[in-house]
C-alpha cells in the first residue's frame, strides 16, 4: 500500500490480472514512472502478487513460476510439469488436483486464477 497507493488504489490490481512475467513488466513500468521502493519492498510486493493474485498458466508455466503462484515446493512444481508432459494439458481444476503431492485446498483457493 505504501509504495503503490501514491498513484492508484489497491483495487486496480484485481481489475488487471496478469501472469508473474506480466507483473514484472508492470513493476518496471511503475519504476520508470517514478515509483520508489527499496529492493526489499519490491520483493515483498512481487512475492505477495505472485502468491495471491497472479494468473496461473498451468499448461505453459515452468516449474519455478508454478512454485511461486501455487505456493508449493520445487518438487511439487516439477511434478505438475511432469504430469502435464505425460498426460497432456490440464483441462480443469480437478485435473490439476490429480498431481501427486499437490494440496487440494491450495488448488481450490486458486481456482479462479488458473488459465487453461
State the Cα–Cα distance between residues 55 and 69, nearest whole angstrom.
Answer: 8
Q: 28-57 as b/e, with b when 16 or more CB fall inside 10 Å? A: eebeeeebebeeeebeebbeebbeebbbbb
Q: What share of the chain in percent tops pLDDT 70?
A: 97
Q: Which residues pair with 56 in a beta bridge?
A: 114
CATH code: domain 57-115 is: 1.10.150.280
* Close Cβ partners of 39 (under 8 Å, ≥ 6 residues apart): none
26 in helix, strand or coil?
Answer: helix
> Do residues 77 and 67 touch, judged by C-beta distance below 8 A?
yes
* Residue 42 to residues 1, 71, 77, 104, Cα–Cα distance (Å): 12, 18, 24, 30
Question: Which whole number is the average pLDDT over 63-79?
Answer: 96
**Predicted TM-score (pTM) of this structure:** 0.82
Domain with CATH 1.10.150.280 in the chain: 57-115
pLDDT digits (tens, 9 = 90+) for 88-99: 999 999 999 999
pLDDT digits (tens, 9 = 90+) for 76-91: 999 999 999 999 999 9
Amino acid at each position: 500500500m505504501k509504495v503503490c497507493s501514491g498513484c492508484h488504489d489497491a483495487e486496480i490490481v484485481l481489475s488487471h490480472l496478469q501472469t508473474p512475467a506480466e507483473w514484472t513488466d508492470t513493476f518496471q513500468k511503475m519504476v520508470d514512472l517514478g515509483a520508489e521502493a527499496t529492493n526489499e519492498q519490491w520483493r515483498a510486493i512481487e512475492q505477495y502478487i505472485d502468491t495471491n493474485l497472479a494468473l496461473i498458466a498451468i499448461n505453459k508455466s515452468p516449474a519455478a513460476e508454478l512454485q511461486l503462484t501455487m505456493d508449493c515446493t520445487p518438487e511439487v512444481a516439477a511434478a505438475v510439469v511432469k504430469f502435464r508432459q505425460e498426460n497432456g494439458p490440464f483441462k480443469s481444476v480437478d485435473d490439476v488436483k490429480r498431481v501427486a503431492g499437490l494440496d487440494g485446498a491450495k488448488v481450490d483457493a486458486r481456482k479462479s486464477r488458473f488459465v487453461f
